[in-house]
């Protein structure tokens, strides 16, 4: 699976990488280097992050589906109050 960012997100990601290098490493990087680094990160690390996000979403959905009965249960035949069955003597 190939992970691609839309143009605005890619531009923001490149700017973020450049800023990170400027503030935390000894040498700044240019647009081309930051863009290549971003491509590498998306290809190499992106699928692992994507798979984790999918697993988290599946777990959340399974939890919500399991809770449907408690959240959406409707009492059947609610007009007459429920009475205990009479015992025969």
pTM given for the model: 0.69
Q: CA 38 to CA 3: how far, in whole Å?
A: 11
Say which residues have a Cβ less than 8 Å from residue 38's Cβ, sequence separation at least 6: 5, 10, 13, 14, 17
- Give the residue carrying structure tokens 């930051």: 34
Residue 37 · residue 54 · CB < 8 Å: no
Identify the band that residue 15 occupies on the pLDDT scale cut at 50, 70 and 90.
very high
pLDDT digits (tens, 9 = 90+) for 51-77: 999 999 999 999 888 888 778 888 888
How many Cβ atoms from other residues are within 10 Å of residue 46's Cβ?
Answer: 18
Residue pLDDT, tens place only, 17-57: 999 999 999 889 999 999 999 999 999 999 999 999 999 99
């Amino acid at each position: 699976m190939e992970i691609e960012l839309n143009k605005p997100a890619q531009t923001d990601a490149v700017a973020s990488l450049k800023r990170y290098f400027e503030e935390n490493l000894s040498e700044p990087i240019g647009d081309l280097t930051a863009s290549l680094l971003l491509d590498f990160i998306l290809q190499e690390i992106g699928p692992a992050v994507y798979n984790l996000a999918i697993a988290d979403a599946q777990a959340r959905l399974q939890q919500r589906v399991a809770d449907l009965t408690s959240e959406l249960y409707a009492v059947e035949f609610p007009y007459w109050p429920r009475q205990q069955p009479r015992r025969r003597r």
